[in-house]
Amino acid sequence: MEILSVDDPHARVQALRLGMAEGACVQCVTRVPAGPLVIRSGRQEIAIGRKLAERISVRMLDA
């Protein structure tokens, strides 16, 4: 999936620190029930909280 936008300035800074800029291609690896999401960005996997994830708009890419 491609990151389209992050709707909150604070959340945008957090996402940038984790390497998830607008236009970046990432993959959701795991969704922990009632917990974080594990996202693969490049060669790294990052656990992000649900509140940050809810602020990120994505577009699904063809496999």
Which pLDDT score is estimated for 47? 95
Band (45; pLDDT cuts 50, 70, 90): very high
Residue 26 has pLDDT above 90, yes or no: yes
List C-alpha distances in Å: 10 to 13, 15, 16, 45, 56. Answer: 5, 9, 10, 21, 12
Average pLDDT, the chain: 93
Confidence of residue 62 (pLDDT cuts 50, 70, 90): confident
The whole-model pTM stands at: 0.83
Q: Which run of H or of E encompasses 56?
A: strand 56-59
